[in-house]
């Protein structure tokens, strides 16, 4: 009886240790905005938003907006939206503009990874 109690205790402690080691990694999206020549565009507006064909829940909760930094990048953190064990995360639409230039794209955000996408802004013709 003592041996089976010891084995049970060992199993419980081992399971608790493995559960504590499974920490969630950040789920982020880094969007780089550039012009047609490939030069980064600082202070460009960037918006990520979900546009599902069959909405489940409120897709607007994933919408985030930022301005690019000096390197033409905007970083979006979706770590709090992802739950471990969830199958997949999101495909997001990207829209960006600065002055008379606009651009758009799509990014597939994979859970617990840093996801990168580049959007090229082009001049709007009247």
**Nearest Cα to 46, choosing from 111, 122, 121?**
121
Beta strands in 5-123 (DSSP E): 28-34, 45-49, 64-67, 73-77, 90-98, 101-109, 114-120, 122-123
Tokens of 74: 């905007």
Residue by residue, pLDDT tens for the chain (126 residues) are 566 666 766 666 666 555 555 567 899 999 999 999 999 999 999 999 987 765 566 667 889 999 999 999 999 999 888 666 555 678 899 999 999 999 999 999 988 899 999 999 999 987
Is CATH 1.25.40.10 what the domain over 24-123 is classified as, yes or no?
no
Model-wide pTM > 0.85: no
Annotated domain spans of the chain: 24-123
**Cβ–Cβ contacts within 10 Å for residue 52, how many?**
11
Euclidean distance between CA atoms 113 and 21, whole angstroms? 18
pLDDT at 35: 97
Backbone angles phi, psi at 12, to 5 degrees: -65, -45
pLDDT at 126: 76
């Amino acid at each position: 009886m003592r041996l089976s109690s010891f084995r049970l205790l060992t199993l419980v402690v081992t399971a608790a240790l493995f559960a504590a080691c499974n920490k969630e990694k950040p789920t982020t999206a880094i969007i780089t905005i550039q012009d047609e020549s490939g030069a980064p565009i600082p202070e460009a507006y960037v918006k990520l938003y979900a546009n599902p064909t069959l909405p489940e829940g409120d897709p607007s909760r994933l919408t985030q907006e930022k301005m690019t930094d000096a390197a033409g990048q905007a970083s979006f953190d979706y770590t709090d939206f992802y739950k471990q064990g969830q199958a997949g995360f999101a495909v997001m639409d990207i829209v960006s503009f600065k002055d008379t230039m606009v651009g758009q794209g799509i990014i597939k955000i994979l859970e617990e990874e840093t996801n990168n996408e580049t959007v090229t802004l082009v001049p709007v013709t009247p």
